[in-house]
Homo-oligomer: A and B are copies of this chain.
Amino acid sequence: MSDSTHVLTIGNAIVDVIAKVDEAFVRREKLVKGSMNLIDEERAEMLYGVMGPAIEVSGGSAGNTAAGVASFGGRAAYIGKVKADQLGGIYRHDMRSQGVAFDTPAATDGPATARSFILVTPDGERTMNTYLGACVNLNAADIDAETVKASDVTYMEGYLYDKPAAKEAFREAARISQGAGKLTSITLSDSFCVERHRDDFLSLIRSSINIVFANERELTSLYQTQNFSGALDAIRRDCPIGVVTRSAKGSVIVKGGDTIEVPAHPVKHVVDVTGAGDLYAAGFLFAYTAGKPLAHCARLGSLAAAEVISHVGARPEVNLLVHAKEQGLL
């Protein structure tokens, strides 16, 4: 890569299969609303068999973030594993056509490209059921050292910790990024993911992460407390910058002794909250790598999150650079 990349994201490359369901469906399938559930192939087939007509859109938490950075006009790259199948081709197309560099080789055998059945209830909440498929093949050999070294920030999903090889890929990328004096960032992804990997996450954050992204529930889960301000103080001690999103209550950034609170960007009608955190991170990191003050980073994050929850699908439907300029934010 000749020009340096602003933001490299690494995560599970997943095609979202989005269907509307009613509350009764969620109860009948014993789902916890708002959660991300890992499912096996058998459960995936069962669930697909009982859910209604769907639309398919490229997704994946870190993939959404890369797409968001590119939509702001930032230079974005992505590392993730698809299979060389139809959905894998769609995923690569959607990344590259958005302007994201995505060169991780596709798996030629093994499980199919990952799918997440995203069930959206009338309140806009989403319950995710993810079959990781080809993502299980992501490993340390997929981490291109030159790409990591050329990136101002390497941002990774906590979800990667769910598979040993992907976890190793994550740690390898963090080592290279830190060794090159670049910024390393993580999103805690999901409160159940935090439950599964709490000790690993804490030790990683304390040793080699510059910016942590979390929502309120993930942060309080990390520190096993109901006390939000206590959890904020804990992340303040553990990491140079903590960025915490609180849905309609906006976001809070802690950096050393500083605490910056920014209100949420107004949304007329919440249609589908999928991707809110991913796009917040996109706006924040785009602004941060452009040298903007933290409050401004938060405002761009909020703007991008507001756009993505106003429609179905977890990637921006507008050019975020134009959108931010129209709003007087760039």
| Interface residues of A, Cβ cutoff 8 Å to B | 20, 48-49, 51-58, 67, 85-87, 90, 93-94, 97-98, 112-113, 313, 315, 317
Further 6 A-B residue pairs, CB within 8 A, beyond A55-B57, A56-B90, A86-B87: A51-B97, A53-B315, A54-B94, A56-B56, A56-B57, A86-B86
Contacts A55-B55, A86-B87 given: A93-B48 contact, CB under 8 Å?
yes
**A161 to nearest B CB, angstroms?**
28
Chain B residue at smallest Cβ distance from A53: B94
Do A98 and B56 touch (CB < 8 A)?
Answer: no
CA–CA, A57 and B53, complex, Å: 9
CA–CA, A93 and B20, complex, Å: 15
CA–CA, A29 and B171, complex, Å: 45
- Taking CB atoms, residues of chain B closer than 8 Å to A98 are 52-53
- Taking CB atoms, residues of chain B closer than 8 Å to A57 are 55-56
**A163 to nearest B CB, angstroms?**
22
In the complex, 16 of the A-B residue pairs with CB atoms within 8 angstroms, ordered by the A residue number, are A20-B317, A48-B93, A49-B93, A51-B97, A52-B98, A53-B58, A53-B93, A53-B94, A53-B97, A53-B315, A54-B94, A54-B97, A55-B55, A56-B90, A85-B86, A86-B112
Chain B residue at smallest Cβ distance from A70: B53
- Taking CB atoms, residues of chain B closer than 8 Å to A86 are 85-87, 112-113
**A27 to nearest B CB, angstroms?**
19
- Taking CB atoms, residues of chain B closer than 8 Å to A55 are 55-57, 313
Chain B residue at smallest Cβ distance from A56: B56
Chain B residue at smallest Cβ distance from A51: B97
Do B315 and A97 touch (CB < 8 A)?
Answer: no
- Taking CB atoms, residues of chain B closer than 8 Å to A53 are 58, 67, 93-94, 97-98, 315
CA–CA, A329 and B231, complex, Å: 56
Minimum-distance CB pairs A-B, first 10: A56-B56, A86-B86, A53-B94, A55-B57, A52-B97, A53-B98, A53-B97, A86-B87, A55-B55, A85-B86
Chain B residue at smallest Cβ distance from A71: B53
**A43 to nearest B CB, angstroms?**
16
CA–CA, A90 and B57, complex, Å: 13
Chain B residue at smallest Cβ distance from A16: B55
- Taking CB atoms, residues of chain B closer than 8 Å to A51 are 97
CA–CA, A55 and B93, complex, Å: 11
Chain B residue at smallest Cβ distance from A100: B53
Chain B residue at smallest Cβ distance from A115: B86
CA–CA, A90 and B93, complex, Å: 19
- Taking CB atoms, residues of chain B closer than 8 Å to A93 are 48-49, 53-54
Chain B residue at smallest Cβ distance from A52: B97
CA–CA, A90 and B48, complex, Å: 10
Chain B residue at smallest Cβ distance from A98: B53
Interface-central residue, A52, A55, A85, A112, by most chain B CB under 10 Å: A55
Chain B residue at smallest Cβ distance from A48: B93
- Taking CB atoms, residues of chain B closer than 8 Å to A67 are 53
**A100 to nearest B CB, angstroms?**
10
**A160 to nearest B CB, angstroms?**
23
CA–CA, A86 and B48, complex, Å: 13
Interface-central residue, A51, A54, A313, A317, by most chain B CB under 10 Å: A54
